[in-house]
C-alpha cells in the first residue's frame, strides 16, 4: 500500500494505536513485532475489539484474511513513514508545522514538560506524552498532532549510536535542544565521546536543515559540539550567560528558586525577577532556563513564562519533593547515571537538614565502566549520615572500597523496603534515587 493510501486511512480513523488493550473503537492498529511479542497475532482480535483497520507484516498469519487488514513489508517502518508524512503535510497558517526536537542525557522529560507549559501560555501544543521517546513513541507522538496544533515538542531518547539519526529522520525538527551530555548508556554508546556523537546527530540535522538550536552557553561540551557544525544558528541561554542567580535551598525553601534578569538578553540589565518552582535540585535551573529561552523565541512574554514554570509540578518520581507523615523525601527514582547521580548528591549535600539519609540503587547500562562509576559514587557518601545502597553493581564497588561505617547494602529494593518497615525512619530528609530497573520507588511506602 502506498503511503498516500495509508494516510487516507489514518485521516479517516483519526487515531493510531500499537496496543490492542487500549482500543476504544475506530483506531488504525499497527501490529508491531519485537523480540518478546508479535502484534500480528492480535490482528483479528483488534478488529473484533473495534479497530477500523489493522496493519500487519506481509506474510503473517492474517495477511489477506480480511479487507480491513492491510499488509506492509514492515509495520514499524510503515508507522514511522506515516508519522513523517503526517508531520510534513500538517500546515499551520499555510506553512508546515514547526517542530522542536529535544534530547540529552538527563532532564529530557522534565525540560520537555517545562517547554510544553511555557509554550501553552500562547499556543496549542502537542508534545510527547511521558517518555514515549523511542522509535515507536516518536511516531505515535507525531501522529497525535491535530488540526488545531500550532507547535509540536518531540522528545527523543537514545541508547545506541544511530538512534537520534533515525528519530530526526521521522520528526524532522526545525529547532533542536540538547539538555546536556553525560555518562549514560555507555554499554550502547561505548564511551562519553560516543554519547556526544550520538546526541550531536540532532545538531547535524538542524545544521543541514538551516534551523536553530537552543544552546546552554554555560555547558562547554555542548558549546564545543555546536562549534563543530558550521553554519549552525544558535539561540543561547544559561545561568551565567544570562546573569541569573540560583538561590540556596533550605528547610524553609526546599524547592529550586532563581532570579532572572527582566531582559535576559541584555547583559547590563540589573532588574531581577524571582522564580519559585516546584522542582527539587539546582541542577534543574538549566532546564527551567531552556524552557524560558524557547518561550521567548516564540513570543511568550517573560512574565507568562515564569508563571508557567512556577505552576508546573513534576510527576513520575522526577525531582519530586514528597512529605510523608514522618519524613521529607526527595524522589528522583525514575532513572540514574553517573552524571545525574553526581548532580543529585551535590544538591543533597547543599540541603540544610539535621538527619540526612540516601537510598541509592544501581546505575544500569554502564558496561565496562560500571564498577568504576559506582566506586566514584561510594567515595562521595562520607558527608551523609546514613546510606543504603541497592544492587549488584554497588556490591562490587563495596568490594573494592570496603563498606563505610555509614553505609548498608541490600540486594534488592524490596529487601530494603522490608528493612525500613521493620525499623522505620522518622524526622529525616531522604534522597531516593536509582535506575528504573532497580525500582527504588518500592521503598517509598515504608518512609
* pLDDT tens digits along 64-84: 778 899 999 999 999 999 999
Q: Are residues 349 and 379 in the same domain?
A: yes
Residue 31, C-alpha cell as written in the block: 501490529
Mean pLDDT, the chain, whole residue set: 92
Which contiguous run of DSSP H or E holds residue 236?
strand 233-237
**392-414 mean pLDDT:** 95
What CATH number corresponds to the domain at position 419?
A: 3.90.190.20
pLDDT digits (tens, 9 = 90+) for 218-265: 999 999 999 999 889 999 999 999 999 999 876 677 789 999 999 999
Q: Are residues 137 and 36 in the same domain?
A: no
Inside any domain, residue 79: no
- pTM for the whole structure: 0.84
Sequence-distant (≥ 6) Cβ neighbours of residue 176 within 8 angstroms: 100, 101, 102, 202, 203, 205, 206, 211, 212, 213, 214
Inside any domain, residue 83: no
Q: Do the bridges between strand 386-390 and strand 356-361 make them parallel or antiparallel, or are there none, so unpaired?
A: parallel
Q: Are residues 182 and 268 in the same domain?
A: yes
Q: Are residues 307 and 330 in the same domain?
A: no
For residue 318, name the pLDDT band (cuts at 50, 70, 90): low
Sequence-distant (≥ 6) Cβ neighbours of residue 119 within 8 angstroms: 125, 151, 153, 294, 295, 298, 300
Inside any domain, residue 123: yes
Which of 73, 106, 135 delimits the end of a domain?
73
Q: Are residues 287 and 399 in the same domain?
A: no
* Residues of the domain holding 418: 320-446
Report how far residue 176's alpha carbon sits from residue 174's, in angstroms, rounded to the nearest whole number.
Answer: 7
Inside any domain, residue 85: no
Report how far residue 411's alpha carbon sits from residue 272's, in angstroms, rounded to the nearest whole number.
Answer: 49
Percentage of the chain beyond pLDDT 90 is 72
Q: Are residues 194 and 112 in the same domain?
A: yes
Which of 311, 344, 361 delimits the end of a domain?
311
Burial of 59 (0-12, 13-18, 19+ CB in 10 A): exposed
pLDDT the model gives residue 335: 78
SS3 241: coil
Inside any domain, residue 260: yes
Nearest 5°: phi and psi at 358? Answer: -115, 125
Contact (CB, 8 A) for 163 and 129: no
Q: Are residues 338 and 304 in the same domain?
A: no
Contact (CB, 8 A) for 217 and 231: no
**176-196 mean pLDDT:** 84
pLDDT digits (tens, 9 = 90+) for 134-183: 999 999 999 999 999 999 999 999 888 899 999 999 999 999 999 999 87
Residue 253, C-alpha cell as written in the block: 525553601
Burial of 270 (0-12, 13-18, 19+ CB in 10 A): exposed
Number of domains in the chain: 3
Q: Are residues 223 and 324 in the same domain?
A: no
Inside any domain, residue 406: yes
pLDDT the model gives residue 426: 94
Inside any domain, residue 78: no
For residue 316, name the pLDDT band (cuts at 50, 70, 90): low
Which of 44, 73, 102 delimits the end of a domain?
73
Is the pLDDT reported for residue 364 higher than 80? yes
Amino acid at each position: 500500500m502506498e503511503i498516500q493510501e495509508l494516510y487516507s486511512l489514518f485521516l479517516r480513523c483519526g487515531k493510531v494505536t500499537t496496543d490492542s488493550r487500549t482500543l476504544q473503537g475506530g483506531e488504525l492498529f499497527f501490529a508491531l513485532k519485537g523480540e518478546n511479542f508479535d502484534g500480528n497475532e492480535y490482528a483479528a482480535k483488534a478488529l473484533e475489539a473495534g479497530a477500523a483497520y489493522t496493519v500487519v507484516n506481509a506474510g503473517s498469519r492474517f495477511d489477506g484474511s480480511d479487507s480491513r487488514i492491510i499488509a506492509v513489508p514492515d509495520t514499524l517502518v510503515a508507522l514511522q513513514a506515516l508519522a513523517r508524512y503526517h508531520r510534513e503535510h500538517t500546515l499551520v497558517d499555510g506553512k508546515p508545522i514547526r517542530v522542536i526536537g529535544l534530547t540529552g542525557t538527563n532532564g529530557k522529560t522534565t525540560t520537555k514538560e517545562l517547554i510544553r507549559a511555557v509554550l501553552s501560555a500562547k499556543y496549542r501544543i502537542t508534545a510527547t506524552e511521558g517518555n514515549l521517546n523511542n522509535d515507536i513513541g516518536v511516531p505515535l507522538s507525531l501522529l497525535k498532532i491535530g488540526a488545531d496544533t500550532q507547535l509540536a515538542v518531540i522528545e527523543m531518547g537514545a541508547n545506541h549510536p544511530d538512534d537520534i539519526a533515525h528519530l530526526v529522520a521521522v520528526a524532522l525538527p526545525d529547532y533542536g535542544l540538547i539538555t546536556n551530555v553525560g555518562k549514560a548508556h555507555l554499554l550502547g554508546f561505548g564511551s562519553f565521546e560516543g554519547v556526544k556523537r550520538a546526541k550531536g546527530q540532532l545538531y547535524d540535522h538542524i545544521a543541514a536543515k538551516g534551523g536553530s538550536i537552543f544552546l546552554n552557553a554555560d555547558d562547554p561540551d555542548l558549546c564545543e559540539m555546536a562549534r563543530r557544525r558550521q553554519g549552525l544558528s544558535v539561540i543561547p541561554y544559561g545561568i551565567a550567560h544570562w546573569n541569573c542567580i540560583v538561590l540556596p535551598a533550605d528547610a524553609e525553601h526546599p524547592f529550586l528558586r532563581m532570579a532572572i534578569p527582566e531582559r535576559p538578553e541584555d547583559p547590563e540589565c540589573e532588574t531581577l525577577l524571582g522564580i519559585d518552582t516546584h522542582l527539587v535540585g539546582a541542577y534543574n535551573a538549566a532546564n527551567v532556563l531552556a524552557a524560558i529561552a524557547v518561550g521567548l523565541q516564540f513570543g511568550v512574554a517573560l512574565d507568562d513564562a515564569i508563571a508557567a514554570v512556577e505552576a508546573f509540578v513534576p510527576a513520575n518520581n522526577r525531582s519530586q519533593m514528597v512529605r510523608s507523615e514522618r519524613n521529607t523525601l526527595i524522589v528522583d527514582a525514575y532513572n540514574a547515571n553517573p552524571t545525574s547521580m553526581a548532580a543529585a548528591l551535590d544538591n543533597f549535600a547543599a540541603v540544610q537538614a539535621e538527619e540526612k539519609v540516601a537510598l541509592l540503587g544501581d546505575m544500569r547500562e554502564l558496561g565496562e565502566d560500571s564498577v568504576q562509576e559506582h566506586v566514584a559514587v561510594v567515595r562521595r557518601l562520607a558527608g551523609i549520615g546514613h546510606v543504603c545502597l541497592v544492587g549488584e553493581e554497588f556490591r562490587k564497588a563495596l568490594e573494592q572500597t570496603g563498606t563505610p561505617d555509614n553505609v548498608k547494602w541490600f540486594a534488592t529494593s524490596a529487601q530494603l523496603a522490608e528493612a525500613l518497615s521493620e525499623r522505620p525512619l522518622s524526622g529525616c530528609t531522604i534522597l531516593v534515587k536509582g535506575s528504573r530497573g532497580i525500582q527504588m520507588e518500592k521503598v517509598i511506602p515504608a518512609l
